Amino acid sequence: MNELERCLANPGEPPFDRDRLLERLRARASAEGLLDVAYAELDSPLGRLLVAVTPRGLVRIAYQDEDAVLDELSRALSPRLLRAPERTDQVRRELDAYFAGERRTFDLALDWSLIRGFAQKVLRATARVPFGQVTTYGSVAAEAGSPRAARAAGNALGSNPIPIVVPCHRVLHAGGGLGGYAGGLDRKRYLLELEGTPPPRRR
């Protein structure tokens, strides 16, 4: 390598302020209507949660692997998806208050676009089950218009895109058994205990 090439290869490190770049990008994307999905990670007593919002409202809360959830959101909603914690502030505050036992209902706008048809009806019915009460799969199926579709209701609840806020943990087996939970039964049990409706323990 000759002298010229050596000089070209050593331009010095230009200062790169990644946080400032991203902050400006989010602000501008937001102002120009280019931020379709904003997300952030939150810490909770149930572990790390990924929370995503659209201009319509809260669209996703996920317990699982971040990359898979982001891919899902990108495919189902829009690839204009940026990490933007300031856009999820209200969700974070309400969840914090809920986990601290200071809040029983959420005042969050919800975006239902990840779920359609009967499943959405089941989840909307579930969203009406109040704090501190529980119901059954058959009962939310009936509320959704198909009293005999308890199993389909179970599937819908299993794919709830907005757990905790749409309280699928309040739906149990008719016999009082816990039923299922996409985030694992330990989390379901935790939420029920937090709400003062501890499920019967089974051996």
Partner 1 sequence: MPPFQLLVDAHAAELHRFLAGFLGPDDAEDCLQETLISALRAYPRLRNGDNLRAWLYTIARRKATDVSRWRMRRPSSALDSIAPSAEPAEEPMPIPDDGLWSRVRGLPEKQRAAVVHRFVLDLDYRSIGERMAISEEAARQNVAAGLRRLRKEINP
With residue 42 as reference, give the H or E element that holds it.
strand 37-44
Residue 83 interacts with partner 1 (CB under 8 A): yes or no: yes
**Contact positions with partner 1 (CB under 8 A) in 41-80:** 70-71, 73-74, 78-80
Choose, by CB under 8 A, the member of 32, 102, 175, 200 that binds partner 1: 32
Residue 31 or 201 having the CB closest to partner 1? 31
Choose, by CB under 8 A, the member of 42, 76, 82, 108 that binds partner 1: 82
Residue 28 interacts with partner 1 (CB under 8 A): yes or no: yes
Choose, by CB under 8 A, the member of 18, 116, 201, 203 that binds partner 1: 18
Residue 25 interacts with partner 1 (CB under 8 A): yes or no: yes
Enzyme catalytic residues: 168
Residue 73 or 140 having the CB closest to partner 1? 73
Q: Are the CB atoms for 122 and 153 separated by under 8 Å?
A: yes
Q: Are the CB atoms for 168 and 122 separated by under 8 Å?
A: no
Residue 12 or 200 having the CB closest to partner 1? 12
Distance of alpha carbon 175 from alpha carbon 14, whole angstroms: 66
Nearest to 199 by CA among 189, 187, 185, 184: 189
Tokens of 20: 């400032």
- Residues contacting residue 13 through CB under 8 Å, at least 6 positions apart: none
3-state SS record for 166-193: CCHHHEECCCCCCCCCCCCHHHHHHHHH
Nearest to 57 by CA among 98, 96, 114: 114
Number of residues engaging partner 1 in binding (CB under 8 A): 34
**Minimum CB separation from partner 1 for residue 80, in Å?**
6
What does the binding site for partner 1 look like in residue numbers (CB under 8 A)?
4-5, 7-9, 11-18, 20-22, 24-25, 28-29, 32, 34, 37, 39, 70-71, 73-74, 78-83
